[in-house]
Amino acid sequence: MASTVVDASGTEKSTATPTGTQTEQDAVFAVRHLWKVFGPKAEKVPEDASLAELSAQELREKTGCTAAVRDVSFDVKKGEVFVVMGLSGSGKSTLVRCLTRLIEPTSGDLEMDGEDVRGMDRSGLRELRRHRAAMVFQHFGLLPHRSVLDNVAYGLEIQGVGKAERRARAMETVEKVGLGGLEQRKPGQLSGGQQQRVGLARALTVDPEILLFDEPFSALDPLIRRDMQEEVIRLHKEEGRTMVFITHDLAEALLLGDRIALMRDGKIVQLGTPEEIVGSPADEYVRDFVRDVPREQVLTVRRAMRPAESGEADEGAALTPDTLISDAIEAVARSGGAARVVENGRCLGIVDHACLLNVVARLDEEAPDDGKAAA
């Protein structure tokens, strides 16, 4: 089947071989041409080009099927926070559940650490879900009659780890997520944010290679939500654990994601860093999606800089290329002059008032159109 992988720059690359050869070496999950179709004779839809190309509504009318995930290909790289974002019904949960076959994919290839997940038998899958990929849900799924500690130790209990060891390991993660002192409480005696920390601790206790979050914070009030987002950032910085994070909230995606896959109607319409998605939207839909994002808080000076003119490369404030535009504005305003963008001692370019303002005012988006200007 002819299809594409969207790379980090949002460009589509053809993938002649379905698995293996083009998988990034450091990929935890490698997903190729994945489909999930719900409904009668679902397996016919990916195989039949005349059905595969129909819009969601046409497909439903013609076959009674819903294609929740349509020919999706991507890698989740080791150590990254990979965010799956999209509006309600775009296919986020279905896609992430397919990764551990909580939902059975209809077609496509799926590997974890080079191992074929679709070919795994029951015991392989059990091992995958219990040890290698732990899920944190929006509804925490805590056992109400058990203490916080026993809830956190639950994953180890079903792995068959002995009581003393599982309690010791659970206590470590209870402390790690800031619940020390509350370990004997029951879930009902905790706030929503604290309950979500228990859910997080339970997933962490099994020391999985990858954590999968399904909109874990969407039911929390904004302040607690912010707390939990910071907790995830802190844990990620400290442990470097690979994470897949589903959200419908753009601000959350931009805050947490190293890369973001933006879904619409079961497809990935753009995959890229927050800066790529906000700075170079792939189409009108993405452009609309990111319209209200304060660009200076996402884009960096790499995007704003211009070439140095004679003498400029040697003096003036120095900024690293990943400096946010908002921080560069402050630096330029304070110094009163242009600043250099410097990497490994080399001046890559210059940012001054004009080029920083151009990015804030979105003038950098306008492609020059000489023909029109001349007319």
Which residues of this protein are in contact with ligand ATP, per CB under 6 A?
38, 66, 68, 86, 88-94, 248
Nearest to 351 by CA among 317, 374, 311, 314: 317
Query: Least distance to ligand ATP from the beta carbon of 11, Å?
Result: 25
**Contact indicator for 13, 7 with CB cutoff of 8 Å:** yes
Q: How far is the CB of 90 from ligand ATP (least distance, A)?
A: 4
Closest approach, Cβ 239 to ligand ATP, in A, equals: 27
**CB 296 to ligand ATP: min, Å:** 29
**Can you list the pairs that 282-291 forms with residues at least 24 positions away whose Cβ atoms lie under 8 Å?**
282/10, 286/262, 289/250, 289/262, 290/250
Neighbours of 227 (CB within 10 A): 15
Number of H helices, E strands in the chain: 17, 15
**Residue given tokens 């535009």 in the structure block:** 325
Name which of 135 and 204 has its Cβ closer to ligand ATP.
Answer: 135
Q: Nearer Cβ to ligand ATP, position 40 or 160?
A: 40
| Residue 50 vs 88, nearer CB to ligand ATP | 88
Of 365, 63, 57, 101, nearest to 212 (Cα)? 101
- Burial of 347 per CB tally in 10 Å (0-12, 13-18, 19+): middle
**Looking at beta carbons only, is 92 or 176 nearer to ligand ATP?**
92
Instruction: Give the nearest distance from C-beta 248 to ligand ATP in angstroms.
Output: 5
Here the tokens at position 73 are 């290909």
d(CA 309, CA 14): 40
List beta partners, residue 260: 83, 272
Beta carbon nearer to ligand ATP, 89 or 321:
89
- Provide the minimum distance between the beta carbon of 318 and ligand ATP in the complex, in angstroms, as a whole number: 44
Judged by CB, which is closer to ligand ATP: 140, or 154? 140
